[in-house]
Amino acid sequence: MSEILFINGKVRFPITLDPSVWIFDDRKVDLTTYFTETKEEKSELEDYLKHTSEHWDREIRDGAAFPPIQKSVKKFKKEQLITGTFGIPLHPFFKNAEITAEATHVEIHTLHDSITLSLEEANNVILGFSKDGKPLREDGPVHLYFGDGSNINNPTRNIRKFTII
């Protein structure tokens, strides 16, 4: 069970997280570039509409079959998944758990101790779940990176659960 994480405490819905399936999640970020590239706020709806529009245009122009370049793109993306280093933002999981109004902090429990962050700080956290295409089994299941990248060389390791206090 050490591969499963928990979010509990002052939440409407206590939830469990399985980092092994995040490789297929569209919210994942590439940790090799995430803290060095400039960030722009993107709307999920805007991204969805753009992707759908591109797909529609391609079908009108080329028919329903994938053009030959699509196969190369798919192969590249598959290879990137196998060799990449990825993380995922923590805030969508907090949103799904529905944190109560009186909550102010998050206590992050590791194998050996715990740290406390304000909700604002915790909403900017990135959870690293893959390094060079492999899950973080030895000191994982996730590594915690602050949103500003200040601990990029020394993330918090061996995380077991998040308690909203």
Q: Which residues pair with 81 in a beta bridge?
A: none
For residue 136, what pLDDT is reported?
93
Pair 29, 89: CB distance under 8 Å: yes
Identify the pLDDT of residue 1.
47
Q: Residue by residue, what is the 3-state secondary structure of 105-124? A: EEEEEECCCEEEEEHHHHCC
**Mean of per-residue pLDDT scores for the chain:** 88
What are 1-16's pLDDT values in tens digits?
A: 468 999 999 999 999 9
Confidence at 67, pLDDT banded by 50, 70, 90 = low
pLDDT of residue 95: 96
Q: What is the pLDDT of residues 107-122, one digit of tens each?
A: 999 999 999 999 999 9
pLDDT at residue 140 tops 70: yes
Give 2: exposed, middle or buried? Use CB within 10 Å, 0-12, 13-18, 19+: exposed
